[in-house]
Amino acid sequence: MQSSRRKFLLGSGVAVAAASAVGYKDMLGSVVTFSDKGEKAKDSIYFNSSEAEYSYLNEKFVPNDAFKVCATTCIGCTTQCGVRVKIDKKTDKVVRVLGNPYNLLSTDPWIPYNTSIKESYTLLSQAGEFETYRSNVCARGNVLFDKTYDQNRVLKPLKRVGKRGENRWKEIDIDTLIDEIVNGGDLFGEGKVKGLKEVRDTKTPINPEEPIFGPKSNGFCILGTTHDGRVKTIVHRLLKSYGSANYMGHTSICGLSMRAGEAAYLGNFKKYPHLKPDFENTEYLLSIGTPPGQAGNPFKRQGKLLARARTEKNIQYTIVSPTQGNSDTIAVGGRSHWIPIIPGTDLAFVMGLLQIIINSKTYNASYLALPSAKAMQAAKDVSWTNASHLIIQDEEGFGRILRDKKTPLVLDTQDMQLKHADDVIEAVLDYQGMVEFEGKTYKVRTSFNELKENVNELSLEEYAKECGVSVDKMQEVAKEFVSHGRKSSVDCHGGTMHTTGFYTTYAVMMLGAMVGNLNYKGGMSPGGGAYKDYKGKQYNLFGYKGKSKVHATRIDKTRMAYEKTNEYKKKVAAGKNPYPAKDTWYPFTNALESEIITNSAKGYPYKLDVLLTLNSNFMYGTSGGEGHIKELISDPKKSIPLFIAIDPFINESSRYADYIIPDSVLHETWGIVHAWAGYQTKINTLRFPVVKPRQAQFKNGDPIEVISFAIALGKKLKLPGFGEKAIKGNDGKWHAFDKVEDFYLRAFENIAMDGKPVPDASDEDIRLSGIESYVPSLKKICGKNWRKTAYVMARGGRYEDIDKSYQGEYLSHRYKKPIQIYNETVGRTKNALTGERFSGTVKFYKQRFANGETFEKAFPKEHFPLTAFSFKSNVLSTPNTASTLLKEIRYTTYVDMNPKTAVKFGLKHGDIVRISSADGSVEGYLRLRHGIHPETIGVEHGAGREGEGAIDLEINGKVTKGKISRRTGVYYNKLGLHDSSRNTALTADFVCGSNARQAIPVKVEKVT
């Protein structure tokens, strides 16, 4: 070969060899040095799993000293299950969450309360009785503790720099923060801001023309979320001490329609009781839009009981919902049924069922004829109704139940005479006519008669047309429902969050009255209650000197009738029609978080000065929040002059705050919670910090969080009930309220001592439940009861044993008041906008604005052909977006649509579409599935976030980038509608004011 060619080969060979070596450097590096890639696993076979917290082999129990396992509460969603967390002692980090086998929300059957801690572990081993006592945690609860360590967590108090909502902050000292919010001043260079000290005027009326609205101190409003075991403390110890009536939880954006409808049915607008099916024993469950296992509270318990009932017992269940939820599985064959329905038309469906049952007389007539508790007892029944009570139909006293003083009067079937209900065994059920009482003639009708007339207002065919469910199907369901008698049950929840949700729920519950299922095993249950915690045997933790008795009108215009205002009285006095009022009023609603920003902006009933939110997220949760509240809250002058948020993460709402106060997260918090529903025995689940909170501390060593902040603020404002002599023992002794444990350990002691006090905790119990560090405080605070308190803490709460659930065929814990076939309070209330009377019993209404204008008219089908709804995610929940792991399980959410509908609109699986209502729009990827009604669009709630790390966050000039995984998905509530019949308000249930997120008329288009 020529040498030039040789040189060419040599040269290029060397050059390419060098390039290849560089290209292969990753591989060659390892091969040449025999070195490993990646991170070495902790164990060759067990990989990176953590060591077991204990071993139980050959009947020998050996705890692993590297870990402690503590009982606490998961507050990852509103169910609030009792769990155990396994903590690596070296790092003080949670490594795993386990079920708490004592707790009924995690376990069924749960272990007897007097089981030793050691046995509670061994029972769950291979050699134990795991299959009986399996105790578990859901997808959320298992992973979301990782949010504790998220880089977006707020660890130091923040003050905004720049405008509201820009998400730019600087860290400030907590003492400075408290000083600023107490004293006010020109805090942001935007003019003077009133501080809490100035606002706290408990004498001067907030509105001189309406003394009934209360004093100026009502300008301070607190918004919470769910009852996480800290809210009551804040309301009683901070807000009432301050002198304001304005606390609202999240119920108006959660399930208020359901709560209010059930409160009407149960006749108690004070406590808002509610019912749940006895999932364990029911034979037929009719669930309107809340598939157990997919949605509802208690999420885990319902899912577990349903799974067992359909596998081992005899349940049939029908889910009426726009989408096929996770209650169904083909593995159980014909036990499970799905009736697809258009959102917001469920009332028509249920009215149809009631009509069939009433007209075919397949209701339990003898039960409904029981007019009183006495009659109930005589009939050996466990509940009764006011079906036979007489409602006055005369103009004077219209809607009132005919009574002799307090005792209702009924017609006895024996002789058709008017008698005291207590003296009648069987009253006339269906009557309309005149009765004479004490010389006066009354035009009356029975509750049942009004119900019967209302359900027959539309024909069955008309109801069928409204809801799109065939008459045959309704007939079939009604027949099945009554055939199981008292073992039939009903359920509904967030699906009723539309403009006629109140009556929908009332009607759903009314089905139960038709078979008389209340307080029956397999029927409906009001829950098992709880042991006394705050107001208990040892202490009344809510009592203190100087606690104000607030008489005021709340900012949300709830618990107050328009007719009591001077506005009404003046109009009447002037001979004018008092209607419409300036805006709606909600006399029997207990709280409306969704109305406060708009009300304050309107100054009706008055303006707020300071808003304090406790982990609240009214923006994301409120249908229409982004479209309508955003503008009001962005400008301090429009609605809220001073906005302070206590929030471990900056969410869509606290983003607009002026100050952010850090908070403990999950297993770092204190609290006492009860089971919300769906259980039969007493339960108090408690929690106390089991890992050290990561955020900044107060000078006394308490981490900055909700309660410690309240203490500091109370002391600064010199409010009653803080500091020395603030907690009163029932033995007359006073104790200081300086630290959070001063309050909660005493509440735990109350629980331990309620009724028959619990036993003493053994040293072994204390050691094995990881509460050794609390012993000094327990000894100091609880004195001789410290071991009893420790007993409760070791078990994460106090729980009644499962054998107390039933007494024969009845529930042990029953609802005592009568069922309201006709609710007098509702029947005597008028719509403040129209003066129209609300129906005292169930009645059909179409989706509508507050003044009665129907959606049908406002949003015609040709413009808005589809109806949108959101549904509960079994994985996501709003406050857990900062859990990176959770987003791995459910990365994003979609716009769900039926393939048939997609064909009609020329859309494909995976297209990006825009969904628009009259007032908002949102984009998302289209997911086609057959399990959704063709006339609807469904969105899983909980993604498409704009807070909690989804958007850029600037603190002290340093920017943390927002994460795609948190932004991704569909922010459904952007579709929310404005109520055009009201001044600056969102659509709401026209009776109870609950925010209407369901049944929104929308159109869809492809985004190109």
Partner 1 sequence: MDNAQHIMTLVSSITIEKPWGIDVPNYFWFTGSSAAAFIISSFAHVFGWKKYKPIAGIALLMAFVLLVAAPLNLVDDLKQPGRIMNFFSYGWENFATSPMKWGVLLLIAYPILIFFEAQALYRPYFVKIAQQSRGLTKMLNTLLAFGNMDLSEKALAKDHKKGYVLGAIGIPLALAVHGYTGYILGAVHANVMWHTPLMPIIFLASAMVSGTGLLILLIPLFQRFLSERKSVDRDMVATLARLLSWFIVADLVMRFLWLTFSLTFANGEKYALYQYFSLHFQDTLWIDYVLCLFVPMIIGFTKLRNIPIVVYFGGLVTAIGVWLFRWNTVIGGQEIPRTTPGFLHYTPHVFGQGSIVSVLSNWGVLFVLICIVLLVFPWDEEMEECYKGAENAK
Partner 2 sequence: MSKENSRRNFLKKGLEATAFAMLATTEANAFSSQIPGRDEKDSRHIGQKGKHFVMVLDLRKCIGCQACTSVCKIENEVPEEQFRTFVTETEIGEFPDVRKAFLPQLCNHCDEPACVPVCPTGATFKREDGIVVVDNDVCWGCGYCISACPYDKRYFNKRTQTADKCNFCAQRVDKGLLPACVETCIGGARVFGDINDKNSEVYKLLHNFPSTVLKEAQGTKPQTFYIGLDSRVEELFSTTQSLDDIVKAEEGFKREWEKARGEVENHG
Q: Does 850 bind partner 2 (CB under 8 A)?
A: no
Residue 214 is classified by DSSP as: -
CB of 19 to partner 1, least distance (A): 6
Q: Which residues ranging from 38 to 77 are in contact with partner 2 (CB under 8 A)?
A: 38-41, 43-52, 54-57
Question: How big is the site for partner 2, counted in residues (CB under 8 A)?
Answer: 94
Residue 194, helix vs strand vs coil: coil
Which three-class secondary structure state does DSSP give residue 914?
Answer: strand
Piece in contact with partner 2 (CB under 8 A), picked from 29-37, 689-697, 737-745, 808-816:
29-37
Tally Cβ neighbours within 10 Å of residue 453. Answer: 15
Q: Residue 337: helix, strand or coil by DSSP?
A: strand
Q: Which does 903 bind (CB under 5 to 8 A by kind): partner 2, partner 1, none?
A: none
What is the C-alpha to C-alpha distance for residues 48 and 859, in angstroms, rounded to an integer? 57
CB nearer to partner 1: give 496 or 873: 873
The pattern of x and - marking residues 919 through 938 that bind partner 2 according to CB under 8 A reads ------x-xxxxxxxx----
- In this structure, what token pair is assigned to residue 649? 């993460």
328's contact among partner 2, partner 1, none, with CB below 5 to 8 A by partner kind, is partner 2
Residue with smaller CB distance to partner 1, 852 or 899: 899
Assign residue 394 a region (left: φ > 0; alpha: ψ between -120 and 50; beta: otherwise). Answer: beta
For residue 55, the partner it binds in partner 2, partner 1, none, with Cβ less than 5 to 8 A by kind, is partner 2
What does the alpha-carbon distance between residue 216 and residue 550 come to, in Å, rounded to a whole number? 12
Q: Which amino acid is at 904?
A: K
- Give the residue among 391, 368, 359 at the shortest CA–CA distance from 458: 359
What is the rounded CA–CA span in Å between residue 98 and residue 138? 10
Smallest distance from the beta carbon of 377 to partner 2, in angstroms? 40
Are 614 and 580 in contact, with CB atoms under 8 Å apart? no
Q: Which does 632 bind (CB under 5 to 8 A by kind): partner 1, partner 2, none?
A: none
Are β-strands 936-940 and 866-871 bridged in parallel, bridged antiparallel, or unpaired? parallel
What is the Cα–Cα distance from 381 to 306, expressed in whole angstroms? 27
Stretch that binds partner 2, among 136-144, 204-212, 560-568, 832-840 (CB under 8 A): 136-144
Nearer to partner 2, 118 or 532 (CB): 118
- State which of positions 864-883 bind partner 2 (CB under 8 A): 874-875
How wide is the angle at C-alpha 859 spanned by C-alphas 855 and 860, nearest 5°?
Answer: 110
Inter-residue contact 920 to 625 (CB < 8 Å): no
* 850, 584 Cβ separation under 8 angstroms: yes
Considering only residues 849-908, where is the footprint of partner 1 by CB under 8 A?
890, 899
Q: How far is the CB of 42 from partner 1 (least distance, A)?
A: 17
20 binds partner 1 (CB under 8 A): yes
Binding of partner 2 by 293 (CB under 8 A): yes
Query: Binder to partner 2 among 104, 138, 264, 418 (CB under 8 A)?
Result: 138
From 115, 931, 954, 1005, residue interacting with partner 1 (rule: CB under 8 A)? 931
Residue 755 DSSP symbol: S
3-state secondary structure of 420: strand
State yes or no: residue 12 binds partner 1 (CB under 8 A): yes
Q: How many residues does the chain have?
A: 1008
Instruction: Tell me which amino acid residue 456 is.
Output: N
Nearest distance, CB of residue 44 and partner 1, angstroms: 13
CA-based torsion, 663, 98, 676, 769: positive or negative: negative
Kindly state the smallest distance separating residue 627's Cβ from partner 2, in Å.
24
Cα-based angle 198, 718, 202 (whole degrees, multiple of 5): 45
Nearer to partner 1, 34 or 906 (CB): 34
Distance of alpha carbon 507 from alpha carbon 879, whole angstroms? 32
Q: Which residues contact 274 (CB under 8 A, 6 or more apart)?
A: 258, 259, 262, 263, 266, 526, 677
By the 8 A CB rule, do 516 and 383 touch?
yes
Indicate the residue among 36 and 65 with the shorter CB distance to partner 1: 36
CB of 488 to partner 1, least distance (A): 30
3-state secondary structure of 792: helix
47 binds, among partner 1, partner 2, none (CB under 5 to 8 A by kind): partner 2
Which of the choices partner 2, partner 1, none does residue 310 contact, using the CB cut-off of 5 to 8 A by kind? partner 2
- Crossing angle of the two packed helices 501-515 and 346-359, in degrees rounded to 10: 30
Using the rule CB under 8 A, give the single segment among 11-19, 298-306, 658-666, 879-887 that binds partner 1.
11-19
| Residue 471 touches partner 2, criterion: CB under 8 A | no
Q: Please, what is the minimum distance in Å from the beta carbon of residue 928 to partner 1?
A: 7
Q: Does 5 bind partner 1 (CB under 8 A)?
A: yes
13's contact among partner 1, partner 2, none, with CB below 5 to 8 A by partner kind, is: partner 1
If binding is defined by CB under 8 A, does position 3 make contact with partner 1? no
| 16 sits near partner 1 (criterion: CB under 8 A) | yes
Could you tell me the smallest distance in angstroms from the CB atom of residue 909 to partner 1? 9
Q: Is 248 in the site for partner 2 (CB under 8 A)?
A: no
CA distance readout (Å), 307 to 329, 331, 873: 10, 11, 18
C-alpha distances in Å from residue 950, one per residue of 272, 614, 749, 875: 36, 20, 42, 18
Nearest CB to partner 1, comparing residues 19 and 736: 19
Using the rule CB under 8 A, give the single segment among 6-14, 63-71, 83-91, 822-830 that binds partner 1: 6-14
Please choose which of partner 2, partner 1, none residue 9 contacts, taking the beta carbon within 5 to 8 angstroms, the exact cut-off set by kind. partner 1
Among 160, 274, 300, 532, binds partner 2 (CB under 8 A): 300
Window 307-346: residues binding partner 2 (CB under 8 A): 307-308, 310-311, 324-332, 338, 340
**138 part of the interface to partner 1, by CB under 8 A:** no
- Which tokens in the block code for residue 782? 């609880």
At closest approach, how far in Å is the CB of 143 from partner 2? Answer: 5
Q: Helix or strand or coil: residue 257?
A: helix
Q: Are strands 168-171 and 953-955 parallel, antiparallel or unpaired?
A: parallel
Is residue 900 involved in binding partner 2 (CB under 8 A)? Answer: yes
Of 293 and 641, the one with the shorter C-beta distance to partner 2 is 293
Nearer to partner 1, 32 or 574 (CB): 32
Does 19 sit near partner 1 (CB under 8 A)? Answer: yes
**48 interacts with, out of partner 1, partner 2, none, CB within 5 to 8 A per kind:** partner 2
Confirm or reject binding of residue 204 to partner 2 (CB under 8 A). Answer: no
**Angle at CA 708, nearest 5°, toward 704 and 709?**
75
Among 155, 834, 929, 968, binds partner 1 (CB under 8 A): 929
29 binds partner 2 (CB under 8 A): no
Distance (Å, whole) CA 504 – CA 483: 23
Q: Residue 529 belongs to what H/E stretch?
A: none
- Which of partner 2, partner 1, none sits in contact with 1, Cβ below 5 to 8 A by type? partner 1
Q: If binding is defined by CB under 8 A, does position 131 make contact with partner 2?
A: yes
Kindly determine how many residues on this chain lie close enough to bind partner 1 according to the rule CB under 8 A.
33
Q: Is 134 in the site for partner 2 (CB under 8 A)?
A: yes
**Six token digits for residue 677:** 């529903």
DSSP string, 965-997: HHH-S--GGGGPPB-TTSSS-B-B-TTT--B--
Residue 41 interacts with partner 1 (CB under 8 A): yes or no: no
Candidates 158, 84, 116; CA nearest to 704 is 158
Q: Where are the alpha helices (DSSP H) in 795-927?
A: 824-827, 855-858, 884-889, 899-905
- Figure out which of the listed residues 31, 62, 127, 572 binds partner 1, where binding follows CB under 8 A: 31
- Contacts with partner 1, residue ranges (CB under 8 A): 1-2, 5-6, 9-10, 12-13, 16-17, 19-24, 26-27, 30-31, 33-38, 890, 899, 927-931
